Chains A and B, each alone.
Chain A
Amino acid sequence: GESVGLHLPTLSVQEGDNSIINCAYSNSASDYFIWYKQESGKGPQFIIDIRSNMDKRQGQRVTVLLNKTVKHLSLQIAATQPGDSAVYFCAENYNNNDMRFGAGTRLTVKP
């Protein structure tokens, strides 16, 4: 899920399939993590969050998994729909008040 330079990682899935988007975070002391969805021309929109005392949290059609050992987050979207097509960002509470964002992954859902 990490990007290099200007090229976002992309994930293309078929409508109805499950999607898994990955993110590596940087600070082992980060204690709060958020996944955001950003559609073209709009600001990021909150999807789900998780605190470091948990390793899994479920929402409606979404699940976030946290692996602190390897500093890895994943976002699972069940039964992906065309409306899920967007760029997805993870963010970590890097240094108490400093939220740091990953570079994003572009999800494309094929009908």
Chain B
Amino acid sequence: NAGVTQTPKFQVLKTGQSMTLQCAQDMNHEYMSWYRQDPGMGLRLIHYSVGAGITDQGEVPNGYNVSRSTTEDFPLRLLSAAPSQTSVYFCASSFGSANEQFFGPGTRLTVL
């Protein structure tokens, strides 16, 4: 099993550009989530999904969209990048929200 994979590992954007961060898991997990981690801080939940076709907002959803068309994939879209979105983004998956979450290696995003 590859576990949770994320692409790209690094990305630099200009203000106003859009892009999609990819996340995939091969563990047949129903629950997937996106977090951002700013320097010296904990992870903050952006969006999550409890299964294919179902998504919901977390603590800091503004400026981001998600979709869950399959169990395996959970892409995160930045609609119009802003410098405040400079962060490290982690995707995670688990059997349910009250279960151990497996994290991907992260995407380091810089918005100029």
Contact = CB atoms under 8 A, between A and B. Distances in A.
Pick the most buried of A8, A34, A42, A97: most chain B CB atoms within 10 A of its CB: A97
Q: Which one of A8, A89, A98 has the highest number of Cβ atoms from chain B below 10 Å of its Cβ?
A: A98
Given A97-B56, A100-B45, A32 B100 contact: no
Interface in A51-104: 51, 89, 91, 93, 96-104
A103 B101 contact: no
Contacts of B50: 97
B102 interface: yes
A49 B90 CA distance: 20
Nearest to B97: A97
B74 interface: no
Nearest to A2: B42
Interface in B46-88: 48, 50, 56, 58-59
11 contacts: A6-B41, A7-B40, A44-B43, A93-B97, A93-B98, A98-B58, A99-B101, A101-B45, A102-B42, A104-B41, A104-B42
